[in-house]
A and B are shown apart, each in its own frame.
Chain A
Amino acid sequence: MVKINKDICMLCGGCASVCPFNCITVTEREVIIENCRECGTCEKFCPVGAIE
């Protein structure tokens, strides 16, 4: 499963819009990832490099 660095994450929600498997939900406070397939799409999108 991908890891979100909470210190870097802006909670912008972009990762949720690109996840091909609809695994990501971004709320006002956190990023929830369920059943991640490790495709790396969200990592590539992230404007600030918060996803490892």
Chain B
Amino acid sequence: MKKDLIVIGAGPAGSMAAINSKCDTVLIDQRAEIGVPKQCAEGVSESLFKKIGIKPKKEWISKKIKYTSLISPSGIEIKLDDKRVKKAKFGFVLNRKNFDKGLAEIAANNGTELMPKTRFIKAERTENGVKIYAKRFNETIEIEGRILIACDGVQSKVAKSFGLNTTLPLRYIESCYQYEMTNIEIEPAVELYFGRVYAPGGYVWIFPKGENSANVGIGIVPSLTEKRAKDYLDDFLKRERLKGGKIVEINAGAVPISTPLEKTYADNLMICGDAARMVNPLTGGGIHTACISGSIAGKIATKAIEKEDYSEKFLSEYQKLWKNEFGKELEYYGKAQEVLIKLTDAELDKIAESLQEIKLESISTMEILKAIVKMNPKLLWKLKSLIT
């Protein structure tokens, strides 16, 4: 098969790349069912759809969020609701299975050739492009293209096959585990539990999905503990609130919490989303950055193919553009994370106490960080120099 553009991985990054490409594009994914399994807590901010220029379908959204709660190790709750937050927009909990499949459908309807159950094996450069080998049912297929966009998630086999070292040390990856539970009392709120007692180096989340169901999950930094993510979450489930809960689905996964790859392009290649480590290292959120980076890569690929220039130099524009969108932010959050991860539970409780009267312009990681620094100049003097 011969194509202009080959996109690998039909998560949000890959589908957005395909949607934004105006050339002969193929999108392959190893899964037989796009969007499955879910490996995500599914929370996104309100601005996502506007930013990516796509009108959300009803079935993509599970729940609109009305407030956010941050809970400290000893149980101090900071409730960020419309009384505390001026622009009271708290985002959504998505239905990722529908969302991912929906985006892939848009790509397919825009002319992209969509190939599920097609597993990338290896790639090589040809005289004027790239060639990939993929396994589809019992057959090894070859696809030749001009440009390859790697959106194959945290495993990032594509980048590795081009000799790029994308391996993450254990300190910079979250080991994640989640139950989708029903028969529990929920608030229309995102709830985050912080502290080593709950989740060393991460947090426990409760994200509402329906009337009485939620994603209850955890991310931990495995280098900080001998216990498993599953052990911590099973402990958390013993609390009164979740006791009658029934598990309807179990998810696991890995989330990169480093800053993005230093170089996200090479001759004939761009790397997007989780594969490029484009995740907010404080929250572990990566849908936004995946969608934006994918969109940009799709547009740049189109330009490159028009100009018949697939060189590293031409594709470097991709990195410039995604950095403009969220590069600085992720750098800050990465530095902040280095400081916050060292805090003891007692220090986290102190911070929670200091935030009792918090008032915010809007709900964003940056706004919350600024408030913490303002109230805790001594404790977080290191942070202060970063974000003021």
Closest to B256 in A: A17
> B228–A46 contact, CB under 8 A?
yes
| Contact string against B for A residues 1-27, beta-carbon threshold 8 Å, 1 for contact and 0 otherwise | 000000000111110111110100111
> B173–A28 contact, CB under 8 A?
no
> Between A and B, how many residue pairs show CB distances below 8 Å?
78
CA distance A49 to B175 in the complex (A): 11
CA distance A10 to B229 in the complex (A): 13
Closest to B232 in A: A47
A22 contacts across to B, CB distance below 8 A: 160, 167
CA distance A49 to B230 in the complex (A): 8
* Count, chain A residues at interface, CB 8 A: 22
> A17–B170 contact, CB under 8 A?
no
Interface size band for B:
20 to 34
In residues 264-315 of chain B, which contact A (Cβ within 8 Å)? Answer: none
In residues 151-201 of chain B, which contact A (Cβ within 8 Å)? Answer: 153-157, 160, 167-170, 173, 175-177
> A17–B167 contact, CB under 8 A?
yes
Name 15 interchain pairs, CB-CB below 8 A, sorted by A.
Answer: A11-B37, A12-B176, A14-B175, A17-B155, A17-B156, A17-B168, A18-B173, A22-B167, A44-B222, A44-B223, A46-B228, A47-B252, A48-B229, A48-B252, A49-B231
Q: Which residues of A contact B (CB under 8 A)?
A: 10-14, 16-20, 22, 25-28, 41, 44-49
Given A28-B32, A41-B170, 16 other A-B residues pairs in contact with their CB atoms under 8 A: A13-B153, A14-B154, A14-B254, A16-B157, A17-B254, A18-B167, A18-B168, A18-B170, A19-B167, A45-B173, A45-B175, A46-B175, A47-B176, A47-B177, A47-B253, A48-B230
